[in-house]
Amino acid sequence: MNRHLLSIDDVSADDIQEIFTTAAEMHDVQRRQVKKLPALRGRTVINLFFEDSTRTRSSFEIAGKWLSADVINLSAKGSSASKGESLRDTVLTVTAMGIDGLVVRHSASGAAEQISRWIDVPVINAGDGTHEHPTQALLDGYTLTRRLGSLEGRHVAIVGDLTHSRVFRSNVKSLTKLGATVTAVAPPTLMPAGVGDWSKTAGFATAYDLDEVLPQADAVMMLRVQRERMSGGFFPTAREYTVGYGLTRERLAVLEPGTPILHPGPMNRGLEISADAADALDSVVLDQVSAGVAVRMSVLYHLLAGEETSA
């Protein structure tokens, strides 16, 4: 396993399986009354969030604490540029306090990778702009594996705002590494630039018509549509989006029973996902949340447990 988790590129298919195996053990711990494991006792992990995300931050915080690490949350939102400080300065200041791992969230693509070049502790990317969100992809893959068994030959449809989705970019890599077939579905305006070339080398399919894809899907991953995208001219109206790409009640009926429905949250009920789909028996949205803690415990364990504690 690489020293950092910046992208799904940093983990092989074997690494992912190992992360899942450990995550399953961690998952069992969650059901215990005493949830603490001593694995990271004496280690300090900083959650450095340049962009708000209560959900991801809490998930990392709980994961660290259940492994007995000291977890410190730092919100650096707007602090660096507005004070004239460079990102490098901000990060060096934080790490100079003596830490063992850095979980970083940033609104800019590539920020985690850049940061990893400036410091010498493991960096975990908790979402960088529209680039990647590797732990989200791992928890999605873990959730799907628990539901479907092996993903080898399974067909996953990823639907929605692909252009702006780091969840998509990480998942398309991890799911194909796990042997799944992926079809990315979106209107042309929400397809990433150059997706034609990219999909060929990365081995996934693209489609504009959700209704053609759904009957063949073994799992459906709905992506959040950012409300502000609607004024960006990516699609005419919310209504039109829902008709074309929403997981409506009618589309829900097309799915084979037992087809897991994923959503990274927070959901826009009534836009990309209907209430029926969100609350359906096959919706695994809450499983994703609980798997998130287990998978992040596993990632922290694999990246930090072997590391020497800094003085």
Annotated binding residues for carbamoyl phosphate, written as ranges, equal: 55-56, 105, 133, 136, 265-266
Task: Tell me whether residue 173 or residue 251 sits nearer to another protein (CB atom).
Answer: 173
What are the tokens at 256? 């084979």
Contact 288, 140 (CB under 8 A): yes
Given CA atoms 213, 217, 220, 221 in this order, what sign does their dihedral have?
negative
Dihedral angle at the C-alpha atoms of 43, 127, 2, 68, nearest 10 degrees?
A: 20
Rounded to a whole number of angstroms, the minimum distance from the CB of residue 110 to another protein is 3
Rounded to a whole number of angstroms, the minimum distance from the CB of residue 229 to another protein is 13
Task: Tell me whether residue 165 or residue 274 sits nearer to another protein (CB atom).
Answer: 165
Residue ranges for the known binding site are 55-56, 83, 105, 133, 136, 166, 224, 265-266
**Could you tell me where the DSSP H helices lie in 85-192?**
87-95, 111-116, 134-148, 166-177
Task: Tell me whether residue 141 or residue 192 sits nearer to another protein (CB atom).
Answer: 192
Rounded to a whole number of angstroms, the minimum distance from the CB of residue 37 to another protein is 34
Task: Tell me whether residue 145 or residue 165 sits nearer to another protein (CB atom).
Answer: 165
Task: Assign 258 to helix, strand or coil.
Answer: coil
Task: Tell me whether residue 131 or residue 154 sits nearer to another protein (CB atom).
Answer: 131
Residues in the site for another protein, rule: CB under 8 A?
80-81, 85-89, 106-111, 113-114, 128-132, 163, 166, 169, 192-198
Task: Assign 262 to helix, strand or coil.
Answer: strand
Rounded to a whole number of angstroms, the minimum distance from the CB of residue 86 to another protein is 4
Dihedral angle at the C-alpha atoms of 145, 151, 154, 156, nearest 10 degrees?
A: 60
How many Å apart are CA 43 and CA 80, to the nearest integer?
Answer: 26
Task: Tell me whether residue 87 or residue 207 sits nearer to another protein (CB atom).
Answer: 87
Rounded to a whole number of angstroms, the minimum distance from the CB of residue 10 to another protein is 14
Rounded to a whole number of angstroms, the minimum distance from the CB of residue 292 to another protein is 21
Whole-angstrom distance between the N-terminal and C-terminal Cα of the chain? 24
| Cα 5–chain centre separation | 12
Residue ranges for the known binding site for L-aspartate are 83, 166, 224
Residue 121's Cβ-count burial label (10 Å; 0-12, 13-18, 19+) is buried
